[in-house]
Amino acid sequence: MYADAFGIRPVLREMARELAGHGYYVLVPNFFYRHGPTPVVELPAHIGEEVRPGVIAQLMPLIEAHTDERVLSDADAYLRFLTNQPEVSAGPVAVTGYCIGGLLAMRTAAARPDQVAAVAGFHGPVGADGPDSLRRLLSTLTGQVHLGHAETDMTPEALDELNQALDAAGVDYTSEIYPGTIHGFTMSDTDAFNPSALQHHWDRLLPLLDRTLASA
């Protein structure tokens, strides 16, 4: 479970516990670990719109420093850790992510198609780097995919283009705009939080994991 850019905090721990309660071993990495322990920047208990720009400004240099090389070497380390845990069943894994974590999840799945059977991204910037980058990302993806987009992040026209790229790559996917949502809708410690959209996210994520990991 890749966090959003704000990183590991109570809401992420709560979501990880929810997922673990369904029988899954859940790893939530601090992917900014090179810059210190989590949280890498000071976060208020509620990340409201009045403080969000300042927090994002602090995080942008960390996001920009998180190169593709770092993403993939870290993904290998996370997968090695998971597969070496005695509580973890043999077989494939699933990767999910939020905001920038959604892109990290997709990159992990594309880089390790032999291990990743399912990937889900929510309000993430998948496809934001342009069609060529998207085609490269999708070219090696073999797992089942669910993408849940915020209404403010994705126009219907952009969704059609993304879904056409998924179709062209032969990906087994669902990809949809969650109605009435803004970026960050799964996170209960932000102004973007939408309880019904969070439930919709679980209604999409849990069946995906059940289909792809239940036999593992």
Residue 167 annotated as catalytic: no
- The number of beta carbons lying within 10 Å of the beta carbon of residue 91 is 13
What is d(CA 196, CA 199) in angstroms, rounded to the nearest whole number? 5
Contacts 24+ apart (CB under 8 A), 57-65: 59/5, 59/6, 62/32, 62/35, 63/5, 63/100, 65/34, 65/35
Task: Say what angle helices 100-111 and 131-138 make with each other, to 10 degrees.
Answer: 50
Task: Measure the N-to-C terminal CA separation of the chain; round to a whole number of Å.
Answer: 18
Amino acid symbol at 167: D
Query: Which member of 66, 123, 153, 201 is catalytic?
Result: 153
Query: Which member of 4, 66, 99, 189 is catalytic?
Result: 99
Query: Which member of 183, 189, 200, 201 is catalytic?
Result: 183
Residue 99 annotated as catalytic: yes
Distances (CA, A) of 100 to 28, 38, 83, 126, 161: 14, 16, 24, 9, 20
Residue 35 annotated as catalytic: no
Residue appearing with tokens 């949502």: 181
Alpha helices by DSSP H, 21-130: 52-65, 68-83, 100-111
Spatial CA neighbour of 146 closest among 188, 74, 206 = 206
Residue appearing with tokens 């102004």: 191
Would you please indicate which residues are annotated as catalytic (active-site) residues? Answer: 99, 153, 183
